[in-house]
Amino acid sequence: MKTPGLRYFGAALVVLLGIWLGFKFHAAHSVQEVGVAVPAGIAGPPDSNDPAQLETAPPQVAIPERLPQFSLKDLTGKQTPVSSWSGKSLMINFWATWCAPCRREIPLLKTLAADWAGRDLTIVGIAVDYPDKVRAFAGEFKIDYPLLVGEQDAMDVAARFGMTSPGFPFTVFTDNRGEVVALFLGELHRPQAELILSEVRSLNEDRTQLAQARQAIAEGLERIAAKHSG
């Protein structure tokens, strides 16, 4: 029989594998799209398109088992706790207006928000940026899912997900119990999003267990990455 410590360690490895495969998929597309994950505080992607710069070690991330509690301001300046969406599955997308892959994700996020609106899923964007820029950007792109915004306080929230030196974008997926199912680093595309959300839905409907869902996500992301790197 596995001990609880080994079980949690195995689950953490599965989620970390999901992060790494997400990064590899993202890197495979970045050579042409200049869509590498951008370190916080830099106003754009690296200047070089050298593929060798995209080959980095897997990120060392200590992901929490459950959604940490935090509060950030919305676009009106109202302090909004993440508990406002208690009982719902969440896609928490960390982004910035200056980040090109973040901007490319927004049409997909808007579509997913509409498609999943009746299935207890809420997409929450967390912009690590200046509030005035985010308000103008949200109005121009007609972002209709909830947005929270912050500077150092938003960076502190990212750190609570283990992303102490975050690259943007990255997205956290939780089930409706508040368990962290996956953390995807890099630009989301529909195949990865639908894969992860299908497992989240299975968890919500008690058709699978968390460890099984994480394993299915890791294996599915590996297949997607292999397909696009071949």
- 85-97 per-position pLDDT tens digit: 999 999 999 999 9
- Is residue 13 predicted with pLDDT exceeding 60? no
Q: Round the average pLDDT of the chain to a whole number and report it.
A: 80
Domain range for residue 214? 4-44+62-229
Overall number of domains in the chain: 1
CATH number of the domain at 26, please.
Answer: 3.40.30.10
The answer to whether residue 116 is domain-embedded is yes
How many Cα atoms sit within 13 Å of 77 on the Cβ side?
1
Determine, yes or no, domain membership for 148.
yes
Looking at the chain, list the stretches that DSSP marks H as alpha helix, in order from N- to C-terminal side: 4-33, 100-115, 131-141, 152-160, 190-204, 210-229
In a domain, 100, yes or no: yes
Give the number of other CB atoms < 10 A from CB of residue 178. Answer: 19
Lowest mean pLDDT among 26-40, 157-171, 172-186, 189-203: 26-40
Beta-sheet pairing, 180-185 with 170-174 = antiparallel
**Do residues 99 and 167 touch, judged by C-beta distance below 8 A?**
no
128 in a structural domain: yes
Does residue 38 register a pLDDT over 60? Answer: no
Confidence of residue 230 (pLDDT cuts 50, 70, 90): low
| Assigned domain for 151 exists | yes
pLDDT interval class at 54 (50, 70, 90): very low
Task: Reply yes or no on whether the pLDDT at 33 is more than 60.
Answer: no
* Residue 165 within any structural domain of the chain: yes
Each residue's pLDDT tens digit, 178-224:
999 999 999 999 999 999 999 999 999 999 999 999 999 999 999 99
CA nearest neighbour of 203 among 223, 174, 224: 174
pLDDT classification of 164: cutoffs 50, 70, 90: confident
**54 domain residue, yes or no:** no
In a domain, 193, yes or no: yes
**% of the chain surpassing 90 pLDDT:** 66
